[in-house]
Amino acid sequence: MRALSFRPGLLLWVFTLIFLPLFVVLGFWQLNRAVEKEQMKAMNDGVVRTAGQIDWLAPPLYADIEVNSVAIPDLTLLLDNKTYNGQVGYEVFQLHKTSQGTLAVSLGWVAGSPDRTQLPNLVVPDRLINQKVTIRPTPTNPLFGVDANMRHETDSQTWVVQTLTTQWLSQLSQQNVLGFVQLIDAEAFGVGPVVWQPSVMSPAKHRGYAFQWFGMAIALLGMFIYAGLRSGKQSKN
């Protein structure tokens, strides 16, 4: 019996060693995301919690909570380049102090002006009493960091921002900013409408993507073995 010769070649070795672990890692990442979404779904069981019942080191995204808070005065944050029905404007953020710490509250959308020096007319709440909010992700911008955030040239109490982080807000306000929430009834406070919506992929969809990645890994491994054996056979001949 002749011994099998396995000679896939250097390029195929390199290709497989790079992409096979990548496909496997992506598959397990999707499975982990499915577990996280199931835990998130269990957390969002319709029970409205208070800010004190939340672990703010790992806040459950999209969970609804009820807050009682007082706004930090003389500080308004306008998240730039937010559109609504084709009109450019801002998403208005305000910092609110609770007994657990400070929350960055989105008050909804407001239209902007073609003249960037002109600020929108805002009516913002000085406090929130038993108001329902949704915990949301950090509003980041892939193109700009916090270095692009600027104090408005005609109003020192207003910042036009491109991205927000709890660390940057904590440094700006000298407060312990816990996280970001969306005021659900934003239009009742004269701002609104709400332009942010949660984007949640179902656990089943994550598992489907995981099986696709694992399938690609198996297919790649099969092609690697087949090509190696075929090349080895041809080389022997």
Return d(Cα 139, Cα 88) in angstroms, integer: 17
The mean predicted confidence, pLDDT, of the chain is 85
What average pLDDT does the segment 134-146 reach? 88
81 is written with which tokens?
């380049």
Q: How confident is the model at residue 1 (pLDDT cuts 50, 70, 90)?
A: very low
Q: Is 23 helix (H, G, I), strand (E, B) or coil?
A: helix
Strand pairing class (158-161; 76-84)? parallel
102-112 residue pLDDT tens: 999 999 999 98
Q: Are 108 and 191 in contact (CB under 8 A)?
A: yes
5-60 residue pLDDT tens: 777 778 888 889 999 999 999 999 898 878 777 766 666 656 678 888 888 888 88
Q: CB 50: neighbour CB atoms within 10 A?
A: 14
Q: What is the DSSP string of 167-226?
A: HHHHHHHTS-EEEEEEETTGGGGT------------HHHHHHHHHHHHHHHHHHHHHHHH
Q: Which of 41-45, 50-54, 129-133, 167-171 shows the lowest per-residue confidence on average (mean pLDDT)? A: 41-45
Return d(Cα 142, Cα 160) in angstroms, integer: 17
